[in-house]
Copies of this chain bind each other. A is one copy, B any other.
Amino acid sequence: MGLNKFLFTGNLTRDAEIASTTGDRARALIRLAVNDVWTDEQGQRHERANFFNITVWGSDAENAAKYLGKGSLIFVEGRLASTEWEKDGEKRYGTDLVATQIQYVDTKKPGSDNA
């Protein structure tokens, strides 16, 4: 019921690929670099990239695998999901990013147009 949304613009650091298909539902993984620029209190300019793994489902996943390559610029909207799992008897917590919508700003993949 609560609002749960993320918004990114960034570039793929590798080609999008189908990671699995269960039933008829494809799942792709997108590795995104989101660039950050800021100036600190001393007026010094800084740059840093943040890297995110984003899960894409269904026909969005199939389109991503077809059209999105390394370097592609996209706008992504999605939801955050909290996860927990166990490793070596120790509980761990993490955050998953699931895309609900992708807009192709600049498709770098050969043979694809920006449609």
Q: Give chain A's interface residues, CB within 8 Å of chain B.
A: 1-10, 34-37, 50-52, 73, 75, 77, 80-82, 93-95, 97, 101, 103, 105-106, 114-115
Contacts and interface: CB of A to CB of B under 8 A. Distances in A.
Contact of A3 (B9, B52, B82, B95): B9
- Number of this chain's copies in the assembly equals 4
Contacts of A2: 8-10, 34-36, 103
A50 B1 contact: no
B36 A4 contact: yes
A1 B105 contact: no
A81 B50 contact: yes
B36 A3 contact: no
Given A50-B82, A80-B52, A8 B3 contact: yes
A90 B7 CA distance: 30
A9 B94 contact: no
B4 A75 contact: no
A95 B54 CA distance: 12
